[in-house]
Chains A and B, each alone.
Chain A
């Protein structure tokens, strides 16, 4: 007799990965938490990342007091296709994210071999 194991439910489209403590604290301090689900959903939908999105709270190297949460998306593909994905992401992300949050959330990407 064979038994079919239940398939685990897919995570919700706007699931936010576990946040490191410093990222969570930064998100709380700048009211970013409510914008992260949409940000991660759009990153998944538009960038099609090939791995986990790395998160880092980063101080500006030159301007004291300016800190942002950098989301680094691992991508594969040629330069123009990745840029097209980035522009589609921005087209959707900018209208639904308030300016204050946009100043604290930076999306970059890293080309994977």
Chain B
């Protein structure tokens, strides 16, 4: 399945809340929390796939979540650093949404929509970079080499290595 479909589900959930017709009984709290989670996973999985495509393997364990961000952050490309920061914020929101039922900050349609739009922007940036449609173009083999060199130098090569 294309992980971008998680984003479509997130959009449907938020649209239902906006229209006063959430998918389950209530005011849409669960839908907004769920949408944030789906948005995060869409962006995370596309980012992991981006890394795989440029030749960087990332552990399939739970440690992949920070590992993907570490990899993007240490790529030497500011745009990928910004994607890492967006993933970081989305991951934090997802954890609030999934683990902190007493904290309502992720229960609004605005919060959920911001999350899914941020995820969509991160995915669009990764797609543009992968397609060579940014100016100047990103040297993807150099990005992979920078990430792998960082992983080796920082003892992260069990989680991040050549694909």
Interface residue ranges, A against B (CB under 8 Å)? 58, 60-63, 66, 68, 70, 72, 78-80, 82-83, 86-87, 90-91, 93-95, 99, 102-103, 106-111
Contact = CB atoms under 8 A, between A and B. Distances in A.
A109 B75 CA distance: 26
Contacts of A107: 85, 89
B65 A79 contact: no
A102 B73 contact: yes
Contact of B117 (A60, A62, A80, A95): A80
Interface residues of B, number: 30
Interface of B: 62-63, 65-66, 69-70, 73-74, 78, 81-82, 84-86, 88-89, 92-93, 95, 98-99, 105, 108, 110-111, 113-114, 117-118, 121
16 contacts: A58-B92, A61-B95, A62-B65, A63-B62, A79-B114, A87-B82, A91-B82, A99-B74, A102-B84, A102-B85, A103-B70, A106-B89, A106-B92, A110-B105, A110-B111, A111-B108
A108 B85 contact: no
B76 to A, nearest CB: 9
Contacts of A80: 117
Contacts of B92: 58, 68, 70, 106, 108
A81 to B, nearest CB: 10
